[in-house]
C-alpha cells in the first residue's frame, strides 16, 4: 500500500482509533502529498484542513481551531455552490433550512448560516442579477446605462463592474463623458453607507473603485493631446478619490463596531 493509499484509507475510517503520524525528512513532500494528492483524491467526499500546533496550549484549543477551520472551508464551499447555481440560472432549493435561534453557535457557524439564509431569502440572487445587469448595460447601451441600473440594489462594486464602467466611458462621446462622473457619483454615493454593503462588500468595492481609478488614470495619459477628454477624465478620477475616502471611513466605522 502506497503512502497516499494509506492516508486515504485512514481518512475513510468511520471511527479511527488514535492518529496517523506521517514522518519524513524536511522537504521530502509530506505537506505536498496532503495539500495536493490527498485533497484531489478525496475532494468529493472529504474536507481536508491543515492547522499548526504552534502556540496551542490545550487539546480543547486545538479542537476549536480545527472546527473553525473546517467551518471556514464549508463556508467557502457554500459560496461557490450558490454562485455557481446563480451563474447557471438554477433554482436554489433551501426551504428546509430554518434555524431561528443562533444563540450558542460560534461566529464561524453563524457566518456559514448567513450565506445560506441570504440565498434562501433571494438577496444573493438579486445582488448577482443586478451586478450582471450593470455589467451588461455598461457594455451594450453605454449612453443609457445609468437610466437602467442606478435604481438597483448592489452589495458591492467589484472589479468586473469597474472594467465595464471603463468600457462604457471610453465608448461615449465628449458631452456624455462630461456628465459621466456626475451620474456615477450620484449613483454610488448613496450606496457607500447602505445596509446592503457589509464589511466584505466594502472591501470588494474598495478594490473595484481602485481598479476603476487605475483605468481612468491610464486614459488620462492616452488623452494627453485631447484636452477636453483629459479634463473630463480627471474629473472622474476626483469622484473616485472621494468614493475611496468614503469607503475607508465606512470600513473604519464597521471596524469600530
200-211 pLDDT, tens digit each = 788 889 999 999
pLDDT at 99: 46
Check residues 251 and 49 and name the one with the higher pLDDT.
Answer: 49
Burial class of 104 by CB neighbour count within 10 A (0 to 12, 13 to 18, 19+): exposed
In a domain, 80, yes or no: no
Report the pLDDT value the prediction gives residue 218, as an integer from 0 to 100.
96
- Cell numbers of 38, please? 490527498
pLDDT for res 152: 87
In a domain, 56, yes or no: no
Q: Span 36-55, mean pLDDT? A: 83
Q: When comparing pLDDT for 104 and 255, which is higher?
A: 104
Give a yes or no: residue 229 inside a domain.
yes
- Specify if 55 maps to a domain: no
More confident residue, 80 or 205: 205
Name the nearest CA neighbour of 38 among 57, 22, 54, 62: 22
Determine the structural domain holding residue 22 and report its residue range.
Answer: 1-48
Q: Say yes or no to pLDDT of 237 above 90.
A: yes
Residue 54 inside a domain? The answer is no
- Per-residue exposure over 128-150, b if at least 16 CB sit within 10 Å of its own CB, e if not: bebbeebbebbeeebeebbeebe
Residue 108: all three cell numbers together: 464561524
Residue 250 has pLDDT above 70, yes or no: no
Q: What is the pLDDT of residue 198?
A: 72
Count the domains in the chain: 2
Q: pTM for the whole thing?
A: 0.55
Q: Residue 33 falls within a domain, yes or no?
A: yes
168 or 187: which carries more pLDDT confidence?
168
- Residue 102 pLDDT > 70, yes or no? no
Q: Specify if 12 maps to a domain.
A: yes
Position 124 confidence tier, pLDDT thresholds 50, 70, 90: low
Cell of 186: 450620484
Residue 79: inside a domain, yes or no?
A: no
Amino acid at each position: 500500500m502506497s503512502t497516499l493509499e494509506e492516508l486515504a484509507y485512514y481518512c475513510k475510517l468511520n471511527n479511527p482509533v488514535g492518529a496517523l503520524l506521517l514522518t519524513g525528512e524536511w522537504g521530502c513532500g509530506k505537506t505536498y502529498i496532503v495539500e495536493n494528492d490527498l485533497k484531489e483524491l478525496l475532494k468529493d467526499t472529504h474536507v481536508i484542513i491543515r492547522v499548526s500546533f504552534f502556540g496551542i496550549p490545550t487539546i480543547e484549543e486545538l479542537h476549536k481551531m480545527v472546527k473553525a477551520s473546517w467551518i471556514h472551508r464549508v463556508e467557502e464551499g457554500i459560496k461557490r455552490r450558490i454562485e455557481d447555481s446563480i451563474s447557471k440560472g438554477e433554482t436554489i432549493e433551501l426551504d428546509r433550512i430554518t434555524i431561528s435561534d443562533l444563540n450558542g453557535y460560534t461566529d464561524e457557524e453563524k457566518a456559514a448560516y448567513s450565506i445560506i439564509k441570504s440565498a434562501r431569502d433571494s438577496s444573493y440572487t438579486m445582488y448577482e442579477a443586478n451586478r450582471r445587469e450593470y455589467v451588461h448595460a455598461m457594455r451594450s447601451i453605454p449612453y443609457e446605462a445609468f437610466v437602467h441600473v442606478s435604481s438597483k440594489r448592489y452589495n458591492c462594486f467589484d472589479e468586473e463592474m469597474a472594467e465595464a464602467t471603463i468600457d462604457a466611458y471610453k465608448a461615449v462621446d465628449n458631452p456624455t463623458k462630461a456628465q459621466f462622473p456626475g451620474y456615477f457619483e450620484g449613483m454610488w454615493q448613496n450606496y457607500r453607507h447602505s445596509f446592503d454593503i457589509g464589511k466584505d462588500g466594502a472591501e470588494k468595492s474598495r478594490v473595484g473603485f481602485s481598479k476603476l481609478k487605475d483605468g481612468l488614470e491610464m486614459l488620462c495619459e492616452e488623452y494627453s493631446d485631447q484636452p477636453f477628454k483629459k479634463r473630463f477624465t480627471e474629473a472622474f478620477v476626483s469622484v473616485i478619490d472621494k468614493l475611496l475616502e468614503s469607503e475607508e471611513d465606512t470600513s473604519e466605522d464597521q471596524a469600530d463596531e
